[in-house]
């Protein structure tokens, strides 16, 4: 299978051995598809096409722009099975999770299609009429990771288009197939140049972020890469939205129903094999319930069905790529040294980047497995004794994307939640996100907002029209 790039409304790229990128199925370690190896010339063509399309698209009535976004949602709904199977092959997640991502992406698009940039009248009297408008920026660059091949691009494309911008998207080189196939299907009705997709081997990012005709960069990925993008964008004073890493803490108060809480914690930690920016990545459990919670989480983890995401019954697929798999192996080794592993481990034999979900206890702040973002199926559990000091421990992290607090008393949990330094803090739940809910990060977890009206505002410029009567 060879999936071409999309530039200026045309499917481009030649299937030549030296100019293609092989896409690997992480469950088999075998190539199942290929995409073009994009070049600087392709980036320049894509930006040129987006710039050319911008004036017409910005002038398109908002209702028409919303209609195009809704039609994109229709394509997801009508092709969910095909796209879901491609996603499972390239990303590794179980088919039910892939279909769930398609459904979520459809829902996000339909919500974006209800939004519109909001202006307001500041003053209107005998002397002046002063109005605030929100106008589109121009060409947006969207740079996406490999954990959610459709959903994260949709988080950028939806609001960018509704706000009146055009976009050049760069998907991760290990998961480009599904998004390219999706926009091949959408190309029948999306005006040429409004959406462009260039694939690379992670070598074209600086060319895109430094391009003089790109007005904004929206990036989801690691903190280190985010810093490089911010520096690259500074020369032309681009707007940036950076959704970066997280090391989300779950704080368990001593009054919880341990069995019920453990099930929810497990779900919040191991969705997509733990490859979720907002996943629970460290658990602080009160000493009164520590042993019971550790054992309950281990029991749940031992029941996981780890395997090829295309096989019925699989609950956890492989790690998406070899580089991340190697990182997880190092984390597992660190966990074994610093704590006690209660369940799981890295599959050392056979094909596929498989890791059985690892629960590790008797670790502490300062250990690698606690302080660093694992981004995989590993969950450290730390014991604490003083509820009044636990927020201070959780807030020591350089990250501040999400957190959660768990208690039978909503009042007690909310009191703790109000002391945490995180963009989203859940009480008695995890990973409850939606297109109407702003998502932002504290500290090293990012700059700017995604989702909701606040996220839409990030794709427009404030303009004041000040009229003397």
Q: What is the pTM for the complete model shown?
A: 0.96
Give yes or no: residues 266 and 230 share one domain: no
Catalytically annotated residue among 90, 101, 106, 243: 243
- Residue 225 to residue 441: CA distance in whole angstroms: 16
Give yes or no: residues 62 and 191 share one domain: yes
Q: Going residue by residue through the chain, which has 469 residues, state the pLDDT in tens, using 9 for 90 and above.
A: 999 999 999 999 988 888 999 999 999 999 999 999 999 999 999 999 999 999 999 999 999 999 999 999 999 999 999 999 999 999 999 999 999 999 999 999 999 999 999 999 999 999 999 999 999 999 999 999 999 999 999 999 999 999 999 999 999 999 999 999 999 999 999 999 999 999 999 999 999 999 999 999 999 999 999 999 999 999 999 999 999 999 999 999 999 999 999 999 999 999 999 999 999 999 999 999 999 999 999 999 999 999 999 999 999 999 999 999 999 999 999 999 999 999 999 988 899 999 999 999 999 999 999 999 999 999 999 999 999 999 999 999 999 999 999 999 999 999 999 999 999 999 999 999 999 999 999 999 999 999 999 999 999 999 999 999 9
Helix 80-91 and helix 62-78: axis angle, to 10°?
70
The H or E element that residue 283 is part of is strand 280-286
Reply yes or no on whether 277 is catalytic.
yes
Please provide the size of the chain in residues. 469
Catalytically annotated residue among 144, 223, 277, 294: 277
Residue 454: which CATH number?
Answer: 3.40.605.10
Reply yes or no on whether 97 is catalytic.
no
The H or E element that residue 235 is part of is none
Asked if residue 355 lies in contact with residue 345, where contact means CB atoms within 8 angstroms, the answer is: yes
Give yes or no: residues 16 and 92 share one domain: yes
DSSP 337-379: HHSEEEEEEE--SSSS--EEEEEEEEE-TTSHHHHS---SSEE
Give yes or no: residues 215 and 302 share one domain: no
Give yes or no: residues 364 and 293 share one domain: yes
Give yes or no: residues 411 and 318 share one domain: yes
DSSP label of 288: T
Is residue 440 situated within a structural domain? no
Give yes or no: residues 218 and 333 share one domain: no
Q: Which of 196, 225, 169 lies closest to 48 in space, CA to CA? A: 196
Give the pairing of strands 214-220 and 139-143: parallel
How many domains does the chain contain in total?
Answer: 2
Q: Is the dihedral of CA 343, 85, 152, 418 positive or negative?
A: negative
Give yes or no: residues 312 and 455 share one domain: no
């Amino acid at each position: 299978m060879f999936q071409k790039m999309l530039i200026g409304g045309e499917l481009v790229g030649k299937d030549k051995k030296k100019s293609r990128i092989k896409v690997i199925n992480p469950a088999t370690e075998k190539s199942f598809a290929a995409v073009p190896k994009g070049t600087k010339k392709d980036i320049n063509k894509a930006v040129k096409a987006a710039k050319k399309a911008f004036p017409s698209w910005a002038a398109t009535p908002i209702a028409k722009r919303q209609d195009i976004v809704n039609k994109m949602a229709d394509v997801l709904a009508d092709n969910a099975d095909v796209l879901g199977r491609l996603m499972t092959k390239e990303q590794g997640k179980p088919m039910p999770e892939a279909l769930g991502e398609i459904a979520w992406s459809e829902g996000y698009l339909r919500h974006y299609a209800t939004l519109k940039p909001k202006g307001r009248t500041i003053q209107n009297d005998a002397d002046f009429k002063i109005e605030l408008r929100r106008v589109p920026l121009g060409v947006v660059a969207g740079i996406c990771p490999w954990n959610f091949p459709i959903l994260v691009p949709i988080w950028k494309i939806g609001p960018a288009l509704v706000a009146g911008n055009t976009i050049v998207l760069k998907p991760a080189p290990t998961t480009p197939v599904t998004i390219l196939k999706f926009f091949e299907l959408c190309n029948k009705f999306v005006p040429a140049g409004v959406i462009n997709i260039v694939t690379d081997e992670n070598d074209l990012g600086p060319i895109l972020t430094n391009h003089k005709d790109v007005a904004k960069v929206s990036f989801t990925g690691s903190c280190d890469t985010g810093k490089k993008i911010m520096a690259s964008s500074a020369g032309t004073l681009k707007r940036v939205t950076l959704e970066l890493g997280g090391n989300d803490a779950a704080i368990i108060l001593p009054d919880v129903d341990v069995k019920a809480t453990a099930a929810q914690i497990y779900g919040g930690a191991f969705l997509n094999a733990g490859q979720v920016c907002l996943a629970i990545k460290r658990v602080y459990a009160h000493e009164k319930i520590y042993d019971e919670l550790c054992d309950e989480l281990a029991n749940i983890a031992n029941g996981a069905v780890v395997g090829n995401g295309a096989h019925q019954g699989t609950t956890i697929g492989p790690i998406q790529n070899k580089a991340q798999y190697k990182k997880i192996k190092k984390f597992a080794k660190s966990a074994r040294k610093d704590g006690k592993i209660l369940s799981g481990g890295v599959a050392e034999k056979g094909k596929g980047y498989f890791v059985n979900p690892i629960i590790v206890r008797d670790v502490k702040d300062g250990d690698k497995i606690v302080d660093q973002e694992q981004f995989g199926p590993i969950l450290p559990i730390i014991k604490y004794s003083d509820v009044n000091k636990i927020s201070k421990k959780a807030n020591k992290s350089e990250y501040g994307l999400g957190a959660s607090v768990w208690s039978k008393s909503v009042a007690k949990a909310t009191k703790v939640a109000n002391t945490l330094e995180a963009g989203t803090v859940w009480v008695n739940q995890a990973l409850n996100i939606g297109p109407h809910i702003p998502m932002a990060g504290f500290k090293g977890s990012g700059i700017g907002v995604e989702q909701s009206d606040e996220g839409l505002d990030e794709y427009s410029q404030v303009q004041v029209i000040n009229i003397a009567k």
